[in-house]
């Protein structure tokens, strides 16, 4: 009734919501809240939806009363046909459509009620809103804090470096000045000492020569007087005096000559102030520790939504864990023994079973396959005759597999064996296949990836191992720990988001960090991080490092790192 009254009072006649031309409004679709003319009533009934169109006559007061309880859809102008409004939603294309859209571009498509689609969109947006509040914004805040801390870290490092340079420069200046002053003083002392020696040698001679000069001058004047006197005796006396004086004069020329110091400037060579070396920033800190109730965690794989897949070595089973109220709770358990585990980005779990030449998919609460063998589905990928030893899911959702020849399963040996490294898609399609016929690997037991490079932990013996990195053509790019002085036991390893590699060495109880070229960055003692008996590692989707341990109590630790 309200619609009928409003139409009568409206200055602009109400148009049919279907054709948007006819003003002779007689009917209303209760499900769509559309006002219809007699012509469009039949057309509207033919529009495909999951609901039956309940079209009522506007003269039916009861129907009108029911119709007023249904919210009307606010008309939205079609972006393709400006003279039309959206009336429905094409479920096949997930687009809003007008009458012209239905006839021209969406024929035989399934249509849906705009209100229901709108409700679904609202629900989806609410879910996004919750995801933004609980996941996205906290993640951005964490990354912002990390970047802020990193800027603060580098600012402090710059201040420390510049202070060190200034202090070292002043040290150099003071040291050089002191050294030069001391040396100049020492040189002057030597020169003065030499001058004293010269004076001791020359001054007596000057005095003696002065006396000789006086005597000779006196004798010279006596010669004139004596020769004039023609006194033979006096002339004989003067002659003796002259001969004696000449002997003294000749004796002066025979004395030793003096030596003097000549100063020669040394060539000036400046000592270097030091060196500037770029160092990779990498820091680790244990932020949380949990008691999982599991006796030994020796395999780990991060799943979506903060879930964690782990293997309990002692009980030979596998569990799916998730954090809740600052603790890990068990969501699901599989009583099955596995050699290695990985999780696809879509959530499917892939495992290696003992003594099997294939990979299997695990059934879980989210992905229940149609055909199962115990707790496992049919074969995901066949590796026969080779036996799979390790798995890894890359960031682009491919799977890397390492295999060994029959008879080498679980038995690392000193001699190389036939090894095959495969890269397959999530649909089990082979991308790469690299075969090493007893010329490189002994026993590959762990795999990770650095972009397109493949990092493989090769166990040479029970007490030594190494890391071998292959490029996307299967060629060795670099190795680490491949000699007696640099051997490393690798229980597990992960690649960080910035392509650093963290190696877990349980024998020495340390985490070693390498860069993407295999250069050593740093070592962290696990005891310093309050982690003991570490067995396994993985990196979560929010870039946290999880470490599982082989004991009861606090045996699952979360480490945050800054690179």
CATH code for the domain of 517: 2.120.10.30
Same domain assignment for residues 434 and 546: yes
Among 299, 306, 338, 334, CA closest to 321: 306
Residue 456 phi, psi dihedral angles, 5° rounding: -125, 125
Same domain assignment for residues 223 and 98: no
pTM of the model: 0.58
Each residue's pLDDT expressed in tens, for the chain with a length of 563 residues: 344 444 444 456 788 888 878 888 888 887 666 788 888 887 877 776 545 677 888 877 766 666 555 445 567 788 888 888 888 888 888 788 888 888 888 888 888 877 777 777 788 888 889 888 887 888 788 778 878 888 888 898 899 999 999 999 999 899 989 999 999 999 999 999 989 988 888 888 888 888 888 888 887 887 877 777 777 787 888 788 877 777 777 766 555 666 788 888 888 887 788 888 777 677 888 989 999 989 899 999 998 778 999 999 888 999 999 888 778 888 889 999 999 999 998 889 999 998 899 999 886 544 433 333 345 567 899 999 999 999 999 989 999 999 999 887 665 566 889 999 999 999 999 999 999 999 899 999 999 999 899 999 998 877 788 999 999 999 999 999 876 566 788 999 999 988 899 999 998 999 999 999 998 888 999 999 999 999 999 999 888 899 999 888 899 999 988 77
Number of structural domains, the chain?
A: 3
Establish if 194 belongs to a structural domain. yes
Establish if 144 belongs to a structural domain. yes
Same domain assignment for residues 221 and 317: no
Same domain assignment for residues 541 and 393: yes
Q: Which of 112, 127, 157 is the last residue of a domain?
A: 112
Residue 106 phi, psi dihedral angles, 5° rounding: -130, 35
Q: Which of 93, 112, 131 is the last residue of a domain?
A: 112
Same domain assignment for residues 97 and 219: no
Establish if 278 belongs to a structural domain. no
Q: Which of 112, 139, 174 is the last residue of a domain?
A: 112
Same domain assignment for residues 462 and 524: yes
Establish if 268 belongs to a structural domain. no
- Give 317-377 as a 3 state SS string: EEEEEEECCCCEEEEEEECCCCCEEEECCCCCEEEECCCCCEEEEECCCCCCCCCEECCEE
Residues spanned by the domain of 356: 283-562
């Amino acid at each position: 009734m309200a619609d009928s009254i409003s139409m009568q009072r409206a200055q602009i006649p109400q148009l049919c919501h279907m054709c948007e031309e006819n003003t002779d409004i007689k009917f209303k679709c209760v499900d769509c809240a559309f006002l219809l003319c007699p012509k469009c009533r039949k057309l509207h009934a033919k529009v495909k939806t999951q609901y039956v169109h309940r079209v009522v006559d506007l003269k039916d007061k009861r129907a009108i009363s029911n119709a007023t309880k249904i919210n009307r859809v606010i008309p939205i102008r079609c972006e393709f046909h400006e003279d039309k409004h959206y009336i429905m939603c094409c479920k096949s294309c997930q687009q809003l459509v007008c009458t012209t859209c239905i006839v021209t571009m969406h024929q035989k498509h399934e249509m849906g009620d705009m209100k229901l689609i709108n409700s679904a969109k609202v629900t989806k947006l609410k879910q996004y809103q919750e995801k933004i509040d609980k996941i996205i914004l906290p993640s951005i805040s964490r990354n912002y804090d990390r970047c802020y801390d990193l800027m603060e870290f580098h600012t402090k490092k710059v201040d420390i470096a510049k202070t060190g340079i200034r202090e070292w420069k002043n040290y150099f200046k003071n040291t050089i000045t002191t050294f030069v002053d001391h040396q100049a003083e020492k040189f002057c002392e030597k020169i003065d000492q030499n001058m004293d020696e010269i004076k001791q040698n020359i001054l007596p001679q000057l005095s003696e020569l002065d006396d000789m000069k006086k005597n000779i001058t006196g004798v010279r004047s006596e010669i004139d007087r004596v020769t004039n006197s023609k006194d033979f005796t006096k002339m004989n006396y003067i002659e003796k005096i002259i001969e004696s004086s000449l002997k003294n004069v000749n004796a002066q020329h025979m004395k030793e000559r003096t030596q003097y110091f000549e100063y020669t400037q040394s060539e000036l060579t400046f000592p270097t102030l030091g060196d500037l070396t770029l160092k990779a920033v990498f820091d680790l800190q244990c932020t949380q520790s949990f008691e999982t109730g599991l006796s030994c965690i020796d395999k780990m794989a991060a799943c979506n939504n903060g879930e964690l897949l782990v293997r309990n070595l002692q009980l030979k089973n596998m569990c799916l864990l998730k954090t809740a109220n600052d603790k890990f709770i068990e969501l699901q358990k599989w009583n099955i023994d596995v050699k290695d585990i990985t999780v696809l980005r879509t959530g499917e779990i892939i495992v290696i079973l003992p003594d099997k030449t294939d990979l299997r998919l695990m059934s879980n609460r989210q992905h229940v396959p149609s055909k199962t063998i115990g707790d496992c589905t049919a074969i995901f990928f066949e590796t026969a005759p080779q036996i799979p030893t390790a798995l890894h899911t890359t960031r682009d959702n491919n799977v890397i597999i390492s295999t060994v020849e029959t008879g080498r399963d679980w038995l690392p040996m000193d001699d190389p064996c036939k090894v095959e490294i495969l890269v397959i898609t999530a649909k089990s399609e082979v991308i790469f296949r690299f075969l090493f016929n007893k010329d490189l690997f002994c026993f590959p037991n762990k795999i990770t990836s650095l972009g397109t490079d493949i990092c493989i932990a090769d166990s040479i013996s029970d007490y030594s191992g190494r890391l071998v990195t292959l490029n996307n053509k299967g060629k060795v790019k670099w190795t680490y720990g491949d000699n007696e002085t640099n051997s490393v036991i690798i229980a597990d390893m992960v690649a960080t988001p910035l392509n650093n590699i963290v190696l877990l060495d349980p024998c020495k109880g340390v985490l070693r960090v390498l860069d993407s070229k295999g250069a050593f960055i740093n070592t962290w003692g696990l005891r310093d991080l309050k982690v003991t008996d570490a067995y396994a590692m993985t990196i979560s989707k929010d870039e946290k490092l999880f470490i599982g341990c082989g004991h009861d109590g606090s045996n699952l630790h979360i480490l945050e790192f800054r690179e």
